[in-house]
Structure 1
């Protein structure tokens, strides 16, 4: 599914027409949250979630959190739903056995940094992780899922888009009203350049009552000299244009940019077409780290990737919360 443009524009006839459905969605979310938690885990549970549907930077945030916890002596496990995968779980992800069709793309990416459990039933996933010896659990997404009590909830926001038109699905990009979601957050992490951060503060800062952390997603320096390289770029993430902007920042010359739907399967037919286009334009195929795990085996050596990593202005607020959990 592509993100509708009207979600991030001033409210117009489409958002107004869909607002009644948004109200129904918001009430359903609120009722679900009022039911209470089915599991109070015996170890700290940290949720990396969002209020927006679509990509805000949760996966790079989860990776950075896992690395920070490891530096502090805690080898946390990840529990995730495994969007797009066939496995119901709980099942521990094994990159040697599973592919994106089995468990989804994000679990495969996260499995390079920590043990990952895929489970449609989050409580069962957390229980499986704990039974396997997890000293702490990082939940990738699940902020609106009440199945497990969270000891720390980090809400990730793209500062450039903020909360869009401020309306709930399908009238806007939100899973619940921004004020309601932010009231449950323990930390709000806003990602983006300085100008976007200032604009976000002006538009939405009044709603934040917990510590706010400022961060950016920066390309990981791999030694690849991108300057002047002709590329055909494709991306199936929440906001593909962010990836294309990153390539331009690195100095790559984008001959063609192909935005795909979030988690879109990279079929052999699609990749064969993109490969032919790249060959015609004498360009290198390039994609995101998350998309790369969905590549058919025959194309994995033909496509370059640009990993991104989270950089925070100040780790102190998050470190203080982790210390409060004994981590």
Structure 2
């Protein structure tokens, strides 16, 4: 399966040259996105502003780069600084994608989207999903939010933004540097230079160093929460054990590597990004504990057993990043 919801084509992140049809389609795609940006720049397509600051989190490549842990961290830090943040998201892959919806921690991920449900569960902030990000932002403002965090909104130009944060996978970077479908890029690499902040997701790996102007984000595994109920356990309790590890995210290997780094023996089970689980997907033929990402866990809770655990992930960034971000936001105009 190719594309960002499954295993990406071998040429995206390797040395193999993309096939000619993919390169031809990439050329057409590049022309289309250049035309779209030009139409917005000339105000032939109009972006719209809401009366509070809008902070956009996004990436240039198709697939995951660590946006969700960063959005959660942003909401928590903004709240601690006195803001009332709300989150606007499209809610990728949900059933009623054409309808706006409030997302609660108990919302069915098929209706709210797996990532918005996780954000609501972790932050208890107002979360609104809508294909129309402007409508989502306006709904959040009407609920009393004084700042909107737009999840995966870098390419949604109709909503004006005050601050843009690009998230970059520290290992995969931009792959072969080509546009879809010849490569993983949704926009040219140069687009990142126009973002206010570039956050480099170094995960839990050592040896991945940020470049000039990049802020490192480390992902720290906190604990394992039983999906069947009960007290969370330290991940140290699984050190030296073999476990089934489940990840249906943009880069499953990142999760497996993190667990191996804690001395856990990983039997890996990678699923497509945003995979819709059924009980049979977790029938692995042995009674080993099953550790899964939080994003997967919100979709598996209904048929989980005592062997299934959700691994919490916290994003950690330098204090200087938060100082710089809050300083930038303090200068943003408000008309509310």
User: What TM-score do you get using the length of structure 2 for normalisation?
Assistant: 0.86
Describe the superposition over 1:270-324 as per-residue Cα deviations: whole angstroms up to 9, x where unpaired. 23x23xx232xxx111100111011151216441121111111332332332333
Count residues with an aligned counterpart. Answer: 307
**Map of 1:172 onto structure 2:** 183
Change in Cα spacing, 1:76 to 1:14, as seen in structure 2 (3 Å) is same
**Map of 2:10 onto structure 1:** 5
- C-alpha displacement at 1:30, in angstroms? 2.4
For 1:326 and 1:246, the matched residues in 2 are separated by: 41
Q: CA RMSD in A?
A: 1.9
Is 2:302 aligned against 1:291? no
**Map of 1:208 onto structure 2:** none
For 1:15 and 1:136, the matched residues in 2 are separated by: 44
**Map of 1:305 onto structure 2:** 310
Classify the secondary structure of the residue corresponding to 2:208.
helix
Change in Cα spacing, 1:15 to 1:55, as seen in structure 2 (3 Å) is farther
Contact 1:32 1:146 (8 Å CA) reproduced: no
For 2:72 and 2:333, the matched residues in 1 are separated by: 20
For 1:158 and 1:237, the matched residues in 2 are separated by: 13
- C-alpha displacement at 1:154, in angstroms? 0.2
Classify the secondary structure of the residue corresponding to 2:209.
helix
Structure 1 unaligned segments of length 5 or more: list them.
206-210
Change in Cα spacing, 1:215 to 1:94, as seen in structure 2 (3 Å) is closer
**Map of 2:37 onto structure 1:** 33
- C-alpha displacement at 1:13, in angstroms? 3.2
- C-alpha displacement at 1:4, in angstroms? 2.2
Change in Cα spacing, 1:213 to 1:16, as seen in structure 2 (3 Å) is farther
Task: Tell which deviates more after alignment, 21-30 or 109-118.
Answer: 21-30
Is 2:58 aligned against 1:49? yes
User: What TM-score do you get using the length of structure 1 for normalisation?
Assistant: 0.88
Is 2:258 aligned against 1:249? no
Alignment of 1:92-171 (within 5 A): 92-96=102-106, 98-112=107-121, 113=123, 114-171=125-182
Is 2:245 aligned against 1:237? no
* Structure 1 stretches of 4+ moved >4 Å: none
Structure 2 unaligned segments of length 5 or more: list them.
1-5, 41-45, 224-232
For 2:240 and 2:37, the matched residues in 1 are separated by: 50
- C-alpha displacement at 1:190, in angstroms? 0.7
- C-alpha displacement at 1:326, in angstroms? 7.3
Query: Which protein has the bigger helix share?
Result: 1
**Map of 2:219 onto structure 1:** 217
